Chains A and B, each alone.
Chain A
């Protein structure tokens, strides 16, 4: 759904731009293709590396780790697994659901889901390419802390 909206917006904007000014449109397309060339292969190889990693690590192992009876420890584990990996949402949420059913801590799952999407060690090389090392390290660092706080907050609310 969101993907379709994005594509429609891009096509409409491009059409409007072409109608208004052909030269500017050409310029923006050349810019876009440069960005694409700069990013695509790197993203692709990173993703295939993550796919390999996910295939090697069995889901049952993640379940055992997140099911740790010590709440604080399980938050730490949840946050670190979420930080290191990128799991697509359609895999992550069902996984989180089954984790919850099999007795994992809710807070650990919250930490896991938030770091999973917001913090990315795997995408760091791409982020560094755009924004430099300092920005990337600080943003990801603060996000990990925030994710843990969110998890603790959920523990308090629920």
Chain B
């Protein structure tokens, strides 16, 4: 049952495409063609976006993010957020991973919303196309009204949403992902199953997520054990 639920979207999509194929081949081909265009865009943009998000998570110190994007960052933080959003490429869904890693590093909710919104709307190439098809006065009026509007959206979202409200699946996975990885690297990686888990990765997960004892691995060196103990302490601080 959970398997069907997990793949609900895929199943629905495939069924709808199948129905379309039977009823109207023209529309089917047109959709496939458009999907191809989307796919091209995704393949160009997403890997870069994810790499940048990963690097932010690993490298950028929390203090810097808090100083520039945190609660007390004021108008400067808001302007930096608009700037980051508007120079970035890609549709709105590409903004989520980057905004997410900044949020975890201490950026305020209002600045996250500003980044997401300006990522979607305030774009230099988009403005050029806008002016071409709808005229300069329309484009300029839209930009001038949109930037303050985005800041207001950020302000109100910040008012209504607490950081504690944001506990997503990715969040829980990723916050501990780093520690699980560190522990797995310290384990012998024989995947012998002596600890009772299928492999070293599963055992590492259990240590982090379920507070499993670290004495179950009989192959591990004592030196590694002390290091794992340190990591577990760090994890417990976070919890």
Q: Show the binding face of A for B, using Cβ within 8 Å.
A: 1-3, 5-7, 9-11, 13-14, 17, 24-25, 27-36, 38-52, 54-56, 86, 88-90, 93-94, 96-97, 100, 106, 109-110, 113-114, 117-118, 120, 123, 125-132, 134-135, 138-139, 142-143, 146-147, 149-150, 153-154, 157-158
Contact = CB atoms under 8 A, between A and B. Distances in A.
Contacts of B88: 2, 6
Given A45-B10, A134-B166, 6 more contacts: A14-B51, A30-B54, A47-B42, A52-B27, A114-B142, A117-B126
Interface string B73-90: 000000000000001111
B34 A130 contact: no
Interface stretch (B155-163, B187-195, B208-216): B155-163
Interface of B: 9-10, 12-13, 16-17, 20, 27-28, 30-32, 34-35, 37-39, 41-42, 44-55, 57-59, 87-93, 96-97, 99-100, 103, 109, 113, 116-117, 120-121, 123-126, 129-130, 132-134, 137-138, 141-142, 145-146, 149-150, 152-153, 156-157, 160-161, 165-171, 173-174, 177-178, 181
A2 B125 contact: yes
Interface of A is mostly: helix
21 contacts: A6-B49, A7-B48, A10-B47, A10-B49, A17-B59, A28-B57, A31-B174, A32-B47, A48-B13, A52-B17, A55-B34, A89-B126, A93-B130, A93-B133, A114-B142, A131-B96, A131-B103, A132-B166, A142-B157, A150-B146, A158-B141
B124 to A, nearest CB: 8
Interface of B is mostly: helix
A47 to B, nearest CB: 4
B50 A94 contact: no
A125 B96 CA distance: 11
A-B residue pairs, 3 tightest by C-beta? A97-B133, A2-B89, A32-B54
Given A3-B90, A93-B129, A128-B168, A139 B48 contact: no
B160 A35 contact: no
Given A6-B49, A30-B181, A117 B120 contact: yes
Contacts of A1: 125
Nearest to A131: B166
Given A24-B58, A134-B165, A158-B138, A31 B89 contact: no
B209 to A, nearest CB: 15
